[in-house]
Amino acid sequence: MSRPVTARVPAKVNVQLAVGGLRPDGFHDLANVFLAVGLHDEVTAAPADALRITVEGADAAQVPLDRTNLAARAALALAERHGIEPGVHLHIAKDIPVAGGMAGGSADAAGALLACDALWGTRATRAELLEICADLGSDIPFSLVGGVALGRGRGELLTPLETGGTFHWVFAVADGGLSTPAVYRECDRLREESGAGANAADVPAPEPSQALLDALRTGDATALAAAVSNDLQPAALSLRPALADTLRAGADAGALASLVSGSGPTCAFLAKDVEAAQGVATALAASGTCRTVRVTSGPVPGAGLVDA
Ligand code: C5P
């Protein structure tokens, strides 16, 4: 009998999320600059007769335990490719907010893939793992790769980026999640409403910001703060207007930058250093505008196996 295997996978924040027009396949072309941060989920794969999922953590009740769970889908995809039975018990220890815009579900998929590959001895190549990730979801390849990367296409075509330092972040976790497809739909609706149009022909092709790439390369938090942007933010705010209060509370507390993380509703705040981050966190916690506050830093490495 094989021993259980555990993978540890980071959350992400998008320091730039430039969203192009709606494509015929229902996705949007992106210039998506991901940065992995030090909040992690752990996925343990243990031998079992059939696929089973259990979850622990503050948000565990919101995580589906059936085959709609991305971790289950990742295990099934790997088993199918290698012609084996997907007998595995996946246990997810969740620390990344659920449906929070921080790629928690993507992290669990990447973790399940790595852990099952080790448990089953399927020895998938890195390219194969990345292909399975991309098939399952646009953000999942980044959960595997970590660090900082530019995602093109729908976000799955990654180019790793150089960074010159560590950035200090505060995350304000909201009550309840936001559905990613609903936020993209709202982005399209707002574009239609403005008269500009929402289709690929109406919206300029998304491009990475040179100022942002320079700030990442030099590790300059002030320059990064001036360059961060998220095209999904107006849509997240439209669906959840109270997030404006959270963003304002962080800005008032001295954050260098305040933005919605991905499709939200988690809000991300960039701080000058770890002391400034603690100050922003204390003020946010006292503001009553969010459920929980987390302080962390990044970039951190992507998914990896934890030594037993
Ligand atoms: O790829 P993923 O499963 O994470 O995408 C979830 C949904 O988010 C898609 O079905 C689509 O509605 C939206 N999406 C998008 N453009 C992207 C990525 C996601 O419209 N580049």
Q: What pLDDT does residue 291 have? A: 96
How far does residue 121's CA lie from ligand 1's centre (Å)? 31
Residue 45 three-state SS: strand
| Type of residue found at 298 | G
**pLDDT of 207-263, one tens digit each?**
999 999 999 999 999 999 999 999 999 999 999 999 999 999 999 999 999 999 999
Q: How many CB atoms lie within 10 A of CB 187?
A: 23
Helices 243-252 & 274-287 angle (0-180, nearest 10): 140
Atom of ligand 1 lying closest to residue 139 CA: 4
Q: What is the pTM of this model?
A: 0.97
Q: Which of 29, 41, 108, 139 is catalytic?
A: 139
Q: Which of 29, 34, 108, 180 to mutate to test the pocket of ligand 1 (most atoms within 8 A of CB)?
A: 180
**Sequence spans of domains, the chain:** 5-162, 167-298
Nearest residue (by CA) to ligand 1, atom 20, is 27
| pLDDT for residue 152 is more than 90 | yes
Evaluate: CB of 139 within 6 angstroms of ligand 1: yes
108-131 residue pLDDT tens? 999 999 999 999 999 999 999 999
Express as a percent the part of the chain with pLDDT over 70.
Answer: 99
Mean per-residue pLDDT of the chain: 97
Asked, colleague to colleague, whether 5-162 and 167-298 share their fold, the answer is no
Q: What would the mean pLDDT of 154-164 be, rounded to a whole number?
A: 97
ipTM of the complex as predicted: 0.98
End-to-end CA distance of the chain: 16
Rounded to an integer, what distance in angstroms lies between the CA atom of residue 154 and that of residue 210?
20
% of the chain beyond a pLDDT of 90 = 97
The residues, any chain, with a CB within 8 Å of residue 233's CB and separated by 6 or more, are 259, 260, 264
Burial class (CB in 10 A: 0-12, 13-18, 19+), 249: buried
Q: Is 86 in the pocket of ligand 1 (CB under 6 A)?
A: no
- CATH node for 167-298: 3.30.70.890
* CA 270 remoteness from chain centre: 16
Q: How far is CA 191 from CA 60, 74, 112, in A?
A: 35, 34, 37
- C-beta atoms surrounding 62 within 10 Å: 15
Residue 1 — pLDDT band, cuts 50, 70, 90? Answer: low
The 3-state DSSP class for residue 185 equals: helix
The DSSP call for residue 307 is P
- The topology under which CATH files domain 5-162 is Ribosomal Protein S5; domain 2 (3.30.230)
Neighbours of 54 (CB within 10 A): 13
Measured CA to CA, the distance from residue 272 to residue 256 in angstroms comes to: 7
